[in-house]
Amino acid sequence: MPSQGSDSRGLEAHQGETLELAAADVTALVAYARACLPEEACGLLAGIDGVVARTHLLTNVERSPSTYTIDPREHFEALRQAEREGIELLGCWHSHTHTEAYPSPTDVAQALYPEWVYVVVSLRDPEPAVRGYRIVAGKVCAVTLVIG
């Protein structure tokens, strides 16, 4: 079992778990998130064995600066594409326009997939922050993003 971390939030380290993303993909996420301002941007991450092979930049049907819902048709298409390519959906990502790269209470409440990594791209500061989390039964655990 993961042990309680010393972080003031009570973040638990998820036992060395990592998600690998290509630097070019992270750059694309940030660029898309900026292009979607003032609304939150969102999408999906597909790959295998903790390595993202394909990043999907999708539509936030809520058109909101503070919440997101991935277009269900695009979600379905991404899932079908992953199945065709023999990979799987490893997680999703979305942007925070004015808050830190940490899941909001709404994000936690709406996190339906315990097996997913939830990546948050924060545009709050001039230098964007990109962080990953696993959200299981309302508990948030950090996942180390390996960007290379």
| List of residues contacting Zn ion (CB under 5 A) | 104, 107
Name the minimum Å distance from CB 125 to Zn ion.
Answer: 16
- Chain-centroid distance, C-alpha 80: 19
Q: Please report the sign of the dihedral spanned by the C-alpha atoms of residue 126, residue 50, residue 62, residue 109.
A: negative
Report whether 14 contacts 142 (CB < 8 A).
Answer: yes
Closer to Zn ion by Cβ: residue 43 or 53: 43
Closer to Zn ion by Cβ: residue 46 or 135: 135
Name the minimum Å distance from CB 67 to Zn ion.
Answer: 7
Closer to Zn ion by Cβ: residue 26 or 120: 120
Report whether 14 contacts 134 (CB < 8 A).
Answer: yes
Q: Which residue is nearest to Zn ion (CB)?
A: 107
Specify the residue for token string 């004015």: 98
Around Cβ 137, how many Cβ atoms within 10 Å? 7
Residues in the chain: 148
Name the minimum Å distance from CB 133 to Zn ion.
Answer: 10
Closer to Zn ion by Cβ: residue 39 or 107: 107
Name the minimum Å distance from CB 69 to Zn ion.
Answer: 11
